[in-house]
Copies of this chain bind each other. A is one copy, B any other.
Amino acid sequence: MKLSLKVEYALRVLAQLGRYHGGPQLAHIEDLAEAEDVPSNYLVQILNELRNGGVITSRRGKQGGYALTNEPEAVSLFDVMRVIDPGLFANEPSRAGQSGSLVAEALNKIGASFEERAKEISIRDLMPRDAGPMYYI
């Protein structure tokens, strides 16, 4: 399942934001980058897309940072992938050639079950079970 690094990065970072969820502090780019081992310069782009996609919110300035928009259990991997890698779900296979339509139909079936599965897993599932919300005192 050739998924892009970008998607992996996004999911790891969202899992990390999940740990911050419920706590009083916003997460900083540099902290996220370090905790999840993602190049911070690249992470900037990813966080931007997640914000434009409504998955996270941000605050500028001192005491700024990032947070999940919704509860971790309300955000599926599908939601994230749709924002980060839209081509993953958008593109229809071509129906050219004599067998084009039957092939397209078969590939769509596979794609549908992929999509379905991605909808069943949430950001909550990427967080350690035992950990409650993280408070930094």
Contacts and interface: CB of A to CB of B under 8 A. Distances in A.
A44 interface: no
A114 B113 CA distance: 7
Contact of A114 (B99, B103, B110): B110
Nearest to A121: B106
A3 B125 contact: no
A110 B1 contact: yes
A100 to B, nearest CB: 6
Contacts of A87: 2
Interface string A14-25: 011000000000
10 contacts: A12-B103, A15-B98, A15-B99, A36-B98, A37-B97, A77-B110, A106-B125, A110-B114, A113-B117, A114-B114
